[in-house]
Copies of this chain bind each other. A is one copy, B any other.
């Protein structure tokens, strides 16, 4: 099934570029509340499912044993900017487990955030694995493995017992088979599994509601979602969409992006999970889509709806600050 145009970029009053996408909103029982496009097609959630991947950290008791609070759990679910606070906290998480940065197997990269990159360029010869946007997730993996008595080395491999635990949790949450046939390798070297978009949304509805989950998993899920909502800076960083959107309604919206135009989200008070994918992988479009979808779910709070729509539809300015066009979402996302 093909995907409809959901976001347009305009210039001089004309549409300059178009982004297609698919969106699924699902409740805790698995019922589709809203669907647009190819919602049964498998999609790699990439970093959008980091909260699912962090479940062993909590369920194993590692998070409690190491004294992790909301900030550490949020960072374990994060794709962060590599700002100094992110880098320092990832280092501290490793330290309490008796590990060094060298244990991280995610690889190193400069920040994707321009102001952070400029700061890094002025203070570092080169970035380390602690600066990788996934360093918090990897620190969480290492803490879970160490606390559970697993050999930490090779924790990124498909065959490592930690990755097997993650597969099991994802199968439980999404109700789909998670195996080698659905596996790709992510940017930070861990396995990523293609899951139908509506099953991914169902998984996040379950994490937010606990419906159909065992007590331990329901509690761990709610704790991770709550930690991200309580510490949105540690999920992404300055001026990032996940951080901005969660700050608009503290404790009411969970939202997490993934590479190639994916977003997963949950609205606990509505019992809803959301998953969306921009066909072409564009971040600018996926950000507009998720803001518009959150707005449609929260129409009963007109001030919040307006604030979310202001994130979805925005003016583009050039280097001189002149308004040159708009990013705008289609009626299909906002209406009926």
Query: Which positions in A face B, CB cutoff 8 Å?
Result: 9, 11-14, 16-20, 42-44, 105-110, 114, 117-118, 121-122, 132, 182-189, 192, 194, 260-261, 278-282, 285, 318-322, 324-325
- B contact residues around A109 at 8 Å (CB): 319
Nearest B residue to A279 via CB reads B18
Quick check: B12 and A194 within 8 Å, CB to CB? yes
Question: Within the complex, which residue of B108, B182, B319 is in contact with A188, where a contact is CB–CB below 8 Å?
Answer: B319
By Cβ-Cβ distance, the 6 closest A-B pairs, closest first, are A12-B184, A107-B319, A17-B281, A121-B121, A11-B184, A280-B280
- B contact residues around A280 at 8 Å (CB): 17-20, 279-280, 282, 285
- List 17 extra interface pairs beyond A11-B192, A107-B318, CB under 8 A: A9-B260, A11-B184, A11-B185, A12-B185, A12-B192, A16-B44, A17-B261, A19-B280, A106-B320, A107-B319, A117-B117, A117-B118, A118-B121, A185-B324, A187-B324, A189-B322, A282-B282
Quick check: A319 and B108 within 8 Å, CB to CB? yes
A248 to chain B, nearest CB (A): 27
- Tally of this chain's copies: 2
- B contact residues around A260 at 8 Å (CB): 9, 16-17
- B contact residues around A108 at 8 Å (CB): 319
Quick check: B12 and A132 within 8 Å, CB to CB? no
- B contact residues around A187 at 8 Å (CB): 318-319, 324
Quick check: B186 and A14 within 8 Å, CB to CB? no
Nearest B residue to A11 via CB reads B184
How many Å lie between the Cα of A106 and that of B186 in the bound state? Answer: 39
- B contact residues around A279 at 8 Å (CB): 17-18, 280
Quick check: B122 and A186 within 8 Å, CB to CB? no
Given A117-B121, A121-B118, A186-B324, A106:B14 Cβ within 8 A: no
Quick check: A16 and B319 within 8 Å, CB to CB? no
Nearest B residue to A43 via CB reads B16
Quick check: A318 and B12 within 8 Å, CB to CB? no
Nearest B residue to A319 via CB reads B107
- B contact residues around A117 at 8 Å (CB): 114, 117-118, 121
Quick check: B324 and A9 within 8 Å, CB to CB? no
- B contact residues around A20 at 8 Å (CB): 20, 280
Nearest B residue to A132 via CB reads B319
Question: Within the complex, which residue of B118, B184, B320 is in contact with A189, where a contact is CB–CB below 8 Å?
Answer: B320
Quick check: A185 and B322 within 8 Å, CB to CB? yes
Quick check: B121 and A16 within 8 Å, CB to CB? no
- B contact residues around A188 at 8 Å (CB): 318-319
